[in-house]
A = this chain, B = another copy of it.
Amino acid sequence: MSRTQRVAVLGASGYTGSELVRLLTCHSAAHLCVLTGERHAGRAMGDVLPHLSQIPLPALERLQTVDWDKLDVVFCALPHGMTQSIITTLPNTLKVIDLSADLRLADVDVYAQWYGQVHKAPALQKEVVYGLSELARPAIRAARVVACPGCYPTSVQLALVPLLSAGLIATDGIIIDSKSGVSGAGRAVQESSLFCEIVDGLHAYGIAGHRHLPEIEQGLSRAAERPVVVTFTPHLVPMSRGIFSTLYVRLTGRATAADVRTALAESYAGEPFVRILPEGRVPHTRHVRGSNFCLLSVFADRVPGQAILCAVLDNLMKGAAGQAVQNFNLMTAQPERMGLEQQPLFP
């Protein structure tokens, strides 16, 4: 089972896809056989993403030319909607690790409501495992199809799921104020992502309506075993990578911020990628840039009975490609850190 896996990255010419390529070329149990990119089919990866020019890589091809029988695992970094379209046509011996939002919502009606289109693979959705590595390890190990969580939902759930499970925080009144780097919007060519529209400024977007909301609520509701409705405001920051989620929660009973910190420390004891900072320490996104770490910290608020948490990760790593490789390691019985030992790059 732990032999080298023949691997494809579908959608390799975007930021998430190319980050997967960066990781998998250094991964000793993965053999990167296929890269797809519809717009750039026929071109060398080094033409499309010159920072990868120094590694020998297969050329980009079209989805329709892929020989699926020569693969073991497929990473899907396709535009939203495409995984649902193709997944049912793939041999069911293939393991699939999807990085889009296509398979994250267990309830296909909720999917339809938030994405404005009918789910195209409702039967398959039932076997999908939601791949938040630390919180679903046994299921991921056994899964054939894993949906990797979104970047914001990863940061929020790693911080709050253990607290809701333990009943340490109230299920109402949760406020999530998140800040993201621009690569979270992908490599799509749109005016709002132009350098001059982003640099030296900040703004909120998708207020009370971002598509990561149902995913966050799905995870928190499962943990709380009751419906959780949250307030969530994402913001766009003039930086290329990084998620910083500031979380405002109400403590239950006599719980304190110190209790919260202890509970998180116990939940994640021994985890290779999740770290709880000592009291008083604030994480920066630049402390995790290029790495698979998620940093959590807890502060007592001046408002009695309230705590403030910070959750920080690199949206392309623990928020996307890094977590996908972590899931790959689980699904193929490799050591969980394999290929993910990069230390953060600073400055």
Contacts and interface: CB of A to CB of B under 8 A. Distances in A.
Interface string A180-221: 011100010111011111111111110111000100000000
Interface stretch (A98-106, A231-239, A324-332): A231-239
B342 A240 contact: no
A55 B341 CA distance: 10
A251 interface: no
A162 to B, nearest CB: 20
A126 interface: no
Given A54-B275, A177-B177, A229-B302, A285 B342 contact: no
Given A51-B287, A346-B18, A302 B199 contact: no
Binding site secondary structure of chain A:
loop
Given A179-B179, A231-B248, A341-B26, A198 B200 contact: no
A197 B347 contact: yes
A53 interface: yes
Chain A interface residue bracket vs B: 35 or more
Interface of A: 15, 18, 22, 25-26, 49-55, 172-173, 175, 177, 179, 181-183, 187, 189-191, 193-205, 207-209, 213, 229-231, 233, 235, 237-242, 244, 246, 248, 275, 281-291, 293, 299-303, 306, 308, 310, 341-347
15 contacts: A22-B343, A50-B284, A54-B343, A196-B240, A199-B200, A199-B240, A202-B239, A202-B244, A202-B285, A213-B302, A229-B302, A230-B303, A235-B246, A238-B238, A238-B239
